Amino acid sequence: MEIRLQKVIAGTGLASRRKAEEWIAAGRVTVNGKVVTELGTKVDPDRVHIKVDGKHISSTQPYVYLLLNKPKNVMSTLNDPGGRPTVKDFLRGISVRVFPVGRLDFDSEGLMLLTNHGDLAQTLLHPRYHVPKTYLIKIKQVVTDDHIRQLEQGVQLEDGMTSPAIVKKVKKAKLNSWLEITIREGRQHQVKRMMEAVGHPVLKLTRIKMGPLLLGDLEPGEFRYLTDREANALRELAEQKVALAEDSAQQVPRPRPKRPVSRAGWARSKKAKVV
Ligand code: URA
């Protein structure tokens, strides 16, 4: 079946569709040895040889992106020296070695992204790139508008002031309230510590959103593959973050992150192994 060249390239996980279009327009893509710059070009990926910068794209292992609803009382790592259950126990049938992108506390639940796309994971996790994460939390007592304002403006924790959060009231009962809180940092136990700081300890925490990804109606313990649209949105987000950081770094010279991600595209991570 013939499909657009940029879609074939994006499907391998090398880049978002938009980035693949840039590569095509820049003459970096060949089909059967000929440079193709026409964006509408359609190809049958099973019948042609496509190269980007001289490298055969089908020789790269496809990237895998999974979205798991981590249950409560499960480690968000792949193994636990203490023998507690881990997210790996829930990835039945997955033979590719994927890594969790970020952490959730043992007693938290919700959205966890797992992937073998090492560079993408690095970018999403890097504090410099500020990917928003939204949590649905149940807290002790009914929260006051004053406390919400404090959370929105930033609260003082022992490791410094938090960046402004977005806080939405969801519901309240006599003794508890539910809030949605969106933060762009990823400090340890950050939401719990922020809520403690304003006098409302967290009783339950579920991550419901990360960048463009939504937990939706996945039950705790269930996982699914990201759709093409979601994977593409994630790659676009990461590319935008890197581009923005590079642009601002050009204006104000600053040290680069330890493992910078090339704006030119996503190199295959050497860490991603098949088991
Ligand atoms: N903030 C927390 O306090 N815990 C989590 O698991 C995630 C964010």
Residues 113 and 210 in one domain: yes
**Residue 112 pLDDT:** 98
Using the 3D structure, point to which of 183, 201, 223 is the last residue of a domain: 223
pTM of the model: 0.77
- Say if 237 falls within a structural domain: no
Q: pLDDT for 122-139, tens place per residue?
A: 889 887 888 999 999 999
**Average pLDDT of 18-41?**
94
Check pLDDT > 70 for residue 11: yes
The answer to whether the beta carbons of residues 117 and 13 sit under 8 Å apart is yes
**CA 136 – ligand 1 centroid, Å:** 11
Residues recognised as catalytic: 105
pLDDT at residue 118, as a whole number: 85
- Domain range for 15: 3-56
Q: Is residue 261 part of a domain?
A: no
- CATH number of domain containing 91: 3.30.2350.10
Ligand 1 center to residue 46 CA distance, Å?
A: 44
Same domain, 110 and 173: yes
Same domain, 175 and 41: no
Looking from the CA of residue 194, the nearest atom of ligand 1 is 3
Q: Which residues on adjacent β-strands are paired with residue 179?
A: 137, 169
Same domain? 135 vs 219: yes
Domain boundary residue, one of 11, 29, 56: 56
Q: Do both 87 and 139 map to the same domain?
A: yes
How many domains does one find in the chain?
2
User: Across all residues in the chain, what is the average pLDDT?
Assistant: 88
- In this structure, the number of other CB atoms found within 10 A of the CB of residue 254 comes to 11
| Distance in angstroms (rounded) separating the CA atoms of residues 138 and 177 | 6
Tens digit of each residue's pLDDT (9 = 90 or more) over 142-163: 999 999 999 999 999 999 999 9
What residues flank ligand 1, with Cβ below 6 Å?
104-105, 108, 135, 189-192, 205
Does 178 lie in the same domain as 130?
yes
Q: Residue of the nearest CA to atom 7 in ligand 1? A: 104
Q: Please tell me the distance from the alpha carbon of residue 115 to that of residue 96, in angstroms, as a whole number.
A: 9
